[in-house]
Amino acid sequence: MITLRSAELLRLDLRLRLPFRYGIVTLTEVPQIVARIEFDLGGRIATGLAADILAPKWFTKDPARAIPDEIEEMLRVIRAAVRHATAVRAPTAFAFWRELYAAQAAWGAANGLAPLLAHFGTSFVERALLHALCRVNETTLSKALRGGLAGIEAGAVHAGLRGVAPADFLPAVPSPAVFARHTIGLGDPIEAGEVAPSDRPDDGLPVALDEAIRAYGLRHFKIKINGEAARDRDRLARIASVLARENVDFAFSLDGNETWKDVASFRDYFLGLRAEPPLAALWPRLLYVEQPWHRAVALSPAIGELARTWPDRPPIIIDESDGEIDSAANALALGYAGTSHKNCKGVFKSVLNAGLLAQARAAGRTTVLSGEDLCSVGPLSPLPDLAAAAALGITSVERNGQHYYSGLAQFPAALQEHALRHHPDIYVRSERGWPRIEIRDGQLALGSVNAAPFGLPGDPDLSALAVERVV
């Protein structure tokens, strides 16, 4: 039986090198939390790690809430999930997750918390458990998910997946490399000439889009939009001009960040953009549109009605609306093309979603399981996320931590050296001495990530981080 023995939360407060505007917030500083959890795995003791930033105004989009209150609430859901996990006794990691998920869901509902937020806590325990499981068995995440080690029973959650094993739909070999899909935030400069000297960090890293393209050979992009049609149109035209001038063979996604509360208005907005001649070169390269509608309407019957009357719509996926086990299934039924993967939403849920999408694809539908980011940084958060994306077969993953932070400059020296030693294909030493992510020809090589237990080899030294004992 699997049980949780002890848990600690470690904290590192970070500052961004550039302000990141997404949705209704502009991020300039944020805490990163690391959960260090010890499990008894049937008589074998192992410790697992999980990490993420506490991103305000994403799990809940309430403009009236103070950011410190939102951060404390995110900590509260992580602590609650750990406490709920102490009561779980389960024969497999998947069974452990299901029991924890049910307990956390009930607690979240009783406390009026959105499921996406409540299960942010669930994901911390789940990720630490998967890391511990892979470490003690000296195996990789891909093998643990595809084989019987994690104990995945997809049919126990989705009746349509009865008799279907993860090996039936997950790739036999994880993706060896992924496109680093570069985020273009709502406030990001497009050309170097827009950047005032006083706004340029002294770190040697690119700031404007054209500089980042040259520095990393970028080919995949994620463009934020906010529904201000004239502003979005002009900004997209400038981005298209830069991509043409730099001769980029590109693909891109659009992220609506829940902007539209009226269902039909997004269709009208998108058709208006598509009719603009300066944007004509973009649309053949569009991968999908991510969560244009606010979660209050995103899974409503009105979406299904719109899908029936808009047959030539682009692939549209949910992201923030993917808060519950059946969210992706409901989205597919309404006409969406799929959903996103982020480790903060849960690995097991994404495996189940991959199974649902495989069935839809076999039926002739266009499907998307995308890889998105939470603006995370450092060796303890993005690397497990990349390991999960590779195991799921995702080949284009939003990666923006390398752009909005000065590499690993703010991390303790021991963690910097750990990243350089164990992931030489991911991290290189910058001119300033700290590690930075290495993107070559727009891609990240994942050899070291795929070979490590859930992306994290060795025993990272976390002694310099502030510690809170939970149980």
Question: What is the tens place of the pLDDT at every residue in 136-171?
Answer: 999 999 999 999 999 999 999 999 999 999 999 999
DSSP string, 310-356: -TTPPPEEESTT--STTHHHHHHHHT--EEEE-GGG-HHHHHHHHHH
Q: What is the pLDDT of residue 54?
A: 96
Q: Is the pLDDT of residue 61 over 90?
A: no
pLDDT bracket for residue 39 (50, 70, 90): very high
> What pLDDT, in 10s, does the model give residues 174-212?
999 999 999 999 999 999 999 999 999 999 999 999 999
pLDDT bracket for residue 24 (50, 70, 90): confident
> What pLDDT, in 10s, does the model give residues 308-360?
999 999 999 999 999 999 999 999 999 999 999 999 999 999 999 999 999 99
Which residue in the block uniquely carries the two structure tokens 């932070």? 405
Q: Is the pLDDT of residue 403 over 90?
A: yes
> What pLDDT, in 10s, does the model give residues 419-431?
999 999 999 999 9
CA dist list (Å): 412 to 294, 400, 452: 39, 21, 21
Nearest to 378 by CA among 115, 13, 6: 13
Q: What is the pLDDT of residue 23?
A: 80
Q: Is the pLDDT of residue 1 over 90?
A: yes
Q: What is the pLDDT of residue 3?
A: 98
Q: Is the pLDDT of residue 64 over 90?
A: no
Q: What is the pLDDT of residue 119?
A: 98
pLDDT bracket for residue 369 (50, 70, 90): very high
Q: What is the pLDDT of residue 399?
A: 94
Q: What is the pLDDT of residue 402?
A: 87
pLDDT bracket for residue 25 (50, 70, 90): confident
Q: What is the pLDDT of residue 157?
A: 98
Q: Which domains does the chain have, with CATH numbers?
A: 2-161 (3.30.390.10), 167-454 (3.20.20.120)
User: Are residues 454 and 228 in contact, defined by beta-carbon separation less than 8 angstroms?
Assistant: no
Q: What is the pLDDT of residue 365?
A: 98
**What would you report as the CA-atom Rg of the chain, rounded to the nearest whole angstrom?**
21
**Exposure string for 377-402, b = 16+ CB within 10 A, e = fewer:** bbbbbbbbbbbbbbbbbbbbbbbbbb
DSSP string, 400-420: -HHHHS-TTTTS-HHHHHHHH
Beta-bridged to residue 141, according to DSSP, are none
Q: CA 366 to CA 461: how far, in whole Å?
A: 44
pLDDT bracket for residue 16 (50, 70, 90): very high
Secondary-structure percent of the chain, ordered helix, strand, coil, rounded to 5: 40, 20, 40
Which residue in the block uniquely carries the two structure tokens 């049910």? 102
